[in-house]
């Protein structure tokens, strides 16, 4: 059913494994996979590979296909389609798979038809506005006059004077629970919005939204919830380190923006 996938992944120098989703128990709570197909990067005998976890109940109604492969770029665009009994698509998910610096990566993206469009869809609008007129080669650089990029984080130069007592040192930048932090040498944060987060509501719910939910859905209270801050203004300078990426050095203050990964299970700008 998915036999031709490996040929496409071979072209970008990567291996792929198809597995059936299994129920996971975390802190006595069931974390059953809801998405028809879920992609991850796993380590297999010291080698990174792509793993596609497929729900067993949808196995015969799931179609995985490659939309575009860019061998030189080491990226491909994968489409997952859940079909009904008539063969019509009832759910579509697009995944950009590739290699970024030292490691493989996968990102869920909006409905696009090319690798270039998938990459563009991950950029915040502030970045896209600064790239008007640039060639594709320049748009894909990690360092330009307009910004620096390290993994999913973008850093835009800004004029800012921060009182010394508000500067934080060795500050983690975290996409969400379980992700490895990027460590900024110096950081300054402005106030954000407190939200309650769970695996079912990764974008976070405000306190009123959270209270309304648990009042009408008693089972929601039994989810594992934690409190985070959404959309805080973050500015950094100095070194930014991460084990999977080359360290970057920012001489002046830069505004921090996160990529716009579209996966409904992805976490918003939280910390």
Residue 238 lies in a domain: yes
Residue 127 lies in a domain: no
Tally the domains of the chain.
2
Asked whether residue 165 falls in the same domain as residue 253, the answer is yes
Tokens 């996971």, residue? 24
Q: Using 50, 70 and 90 to split pLDDT, how confident is the model at 177?
A: low
209-233 per-position pLDDT tens digit? 999 999 999 888 888 898 877 777 8
Asked whether residue 95 falls in the same domain as residue 18, the answer is yes
pLDDT over threshold 60, residue 1: no
Mean of the pLDDT values across residues 144-171?
92
What is the residue range of 176's domain? Answer: 154-258
Tokens 């497929």, residue? 54
**End residue of a domain, out of 122, 142, 172:** 122
Asked whether residue 158 falls in the same domain as residue 67, the answer is no
Question: Residue 129: its pLDDT value, please?
Answer: 87
Do 40 and 22 touch, CB atoms closer than 8 A? no
Do 69 and 11 touch, CB atoms closer than 8 A? yes
Residue 149 lies in a domain: no
Asked whether residue 99 falls in the same domain as residue 161, the answer is no
Give bridge partners of residue 196 from the DSSP assignment: 205, 227
Q: Would you report the helix, strand and coil content of the chain in percent, each value rounded to 5?
A: 20, 45, 40
Question: Residue 23: its pLDDT value, please?
Answer: 61
Residue 128 lies in a domain: no
pLDDT over threshold 90, residue 91: no
Question: Residue 144: its pLDDT value, please?
Answer: 86
Asked whether residue 104 falls in the same domain as residue 164, the answer is no
Asked whether residue 89 falls in the same domain as residue 164, the answer is no
Percent of the chain whose pLDDT exceeds 90: 42
Asked whether residue 97 falls in the same domain as residue 171, the answer is no
Mean of the pLDDT values across residues 91-113?
89
Greater model confidence, 225 or 261 = 225
Cross-sheet strand order for the sheet of 182-189: 148-150, 153-157, 245-258, 234-242, 182-189, 168-173
Asked whether residue 118 falls in the same domain as residue 162, the answer is no
Q: Using 50, 70 and 90 to split pLDDT, how confident is the model at 178?
A: low
**End residue of a domain, out of 122, 140, 165:** 122
Asked whether residue 117 falls in the same domain as residue 180, the answer is no
Q: What is the mean pLDDT of the chain?
A: 85
Residue 117 lies in a domain: yes
Asked whether residue 180 falls in the same domain as residue 118, the answer is no
Question: Residue 202: its pLDDT value, please?
Answer: 75
Residue 209 lies in a domain: yes
13-27 per-position pLDDT tens digit? 999 999 888 765 444
**End residue of a domain, out of 80, 104, 122:** 122
Greater model confidence, 209 or 146 = 209
């Amino acid at each position: 059913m998915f036999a031709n996938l490996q040929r496409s992944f071979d072209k970008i120098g990567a291996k792929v494994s198809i597995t059936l989703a299994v129920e996971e128990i975390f802190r006595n709570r069931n974390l059953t996979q809801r998405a028809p197909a879920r992609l991850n990067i796993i380590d297999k005998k010291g080698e990174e590979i792509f793993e596609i976890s497929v729900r067993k109940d949808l196995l015969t109604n799931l179609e995985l296909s490659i939309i575009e492969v860019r061998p030189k770029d080491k990226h491909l665009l994968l489409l997952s389609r859940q079909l009904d009994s008539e063969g019509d698509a009832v759910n579509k998910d697009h995944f950009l798979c590739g290699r970024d610096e030292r490691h493989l990566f996968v990102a869920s993206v909006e409905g696009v038809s090319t690798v270039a469009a998938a990459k563009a869809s991950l950029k915040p609008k502030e970045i896209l506005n600064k790239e008007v007129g640039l060639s594709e080669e320049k748009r894909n650089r990690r360092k330009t006059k307009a910004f620096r990029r390290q993994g999913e984080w973008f850093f835009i130069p800004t004029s800012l004077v921060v009182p010394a007592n508000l500067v934080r040192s060795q500050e983690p930048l975290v996409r969400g629970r379980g992700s490895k932090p990027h460590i900024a040498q110096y950081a300054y944060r402005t106030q954000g919005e407190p939200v309650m987060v769970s695996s079912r509501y990764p974008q976070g719910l405000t306190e009123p939204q959270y209270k309304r939910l648990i009042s009408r859905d008693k089972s929601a209270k039994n989810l594992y919830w934690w409190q985070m801050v959404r959309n805080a203004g973050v500015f950094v300078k100095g070194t930014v380190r991460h084990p999977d990426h080359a360290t970057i050095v920012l001489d002046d203050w830069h505004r921090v923006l996160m990529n716009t990964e579209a996966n409904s299970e992805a976490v918003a700008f939280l910390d």
